[in-house]
Amino acid sequence: EVQLVESGGGLVQPGGSLRLSCAASGFTFSSYWMHWVRQAPGKGLVWVSCINSDTRSINYADSVKGRFTISRDNAKNTLYLQMNSLRVEDTAVYYCVREFNKGAYWGQGTLVTVSS
Amino acid sequence: QTVVTQEPSFSVSPGGTVTLTCGLTSGSVSTSNYPNWYQQTPGQPPRTLIYSTNTRSSGVPDRFSGSILGNKAALTITGAQADDESDYYCVLFMGSGIWVFGGGTKLTVL
């Protein structure tokens, strides 16, 4: 069974940093593109970033470019999102998602709250 | 900047058929945008319904179907049921590794 379990969310002050992790199991992690998608409270889904299987291709939404860094450790079956210079508008549930074009699997999400 | 458009809300009667659409403020949606469709109920992560325009995800009933209609991607629900009342989102591949979600459609079944 495919499982994606996010962790690392929490409360952080504006300007602070946080690192999210996504532990994957039940499939060959190293074979898939992985994405981060976020959802602010009461709002819609927003694509954040993606990384291909061998980390050679990485992409970001304009809203996070230069502040967020996606990475993966295929030996540990784990996806990461390093978030720096956090803003109030980054407050959201962050979902880890396995490859859109192969019938995406979604984690349960982890809540990031940016507030003073 | 191109925006992905969806109807903010839609209503369907039980047993009825509804088609939700996913368009672009500039240009047409094609299979090269690999439209995906997701269903989300409050407090839950999204559930994948359709990927690559018209491929149904595992376990999704065949009353959900995806297509290209005119210049938009479309999700058709045939024989709507009460538990289809959800938010529906599309996402499109915009090239250069970038994906963009639509704003979502809130579907009411009544």
- Quick: pLDDT tens for B41-76: 999 999 999 999 999 999 999 999 999 999 999 999
Q: Averaged over B21-32, what is the pLDDT?
A: 96
Q: Does B55 sit within 8 Å of A103, measured CB to CB?
A: yes
Residue of A33, A35, A45, A60 to mutate, testing the B interface (most B Cβ within 10 Å of its Cβ): A45
DSSP notation for chain A: --EEEEE--EEE-TT--EEEEEEEESS-GGGS-EEEEEE-TTS-EEEEEEE-TTSS-EEE-TTTTTTEEEEEETTTTEEEEEE-S--GGG-EEEEEEE-GGGT-EE---EEEEE--
Give the pLDDT confidence of A9-22 residue by residue, as tens digits: 999 999 999 999 99
From chain A, the residues in CB contact with B101 under 8 A are 37, 44-47
Of B51, B97, B104, the CB nearest to A104: B51
How many percent of chain B have pLDDT more than 70?
100
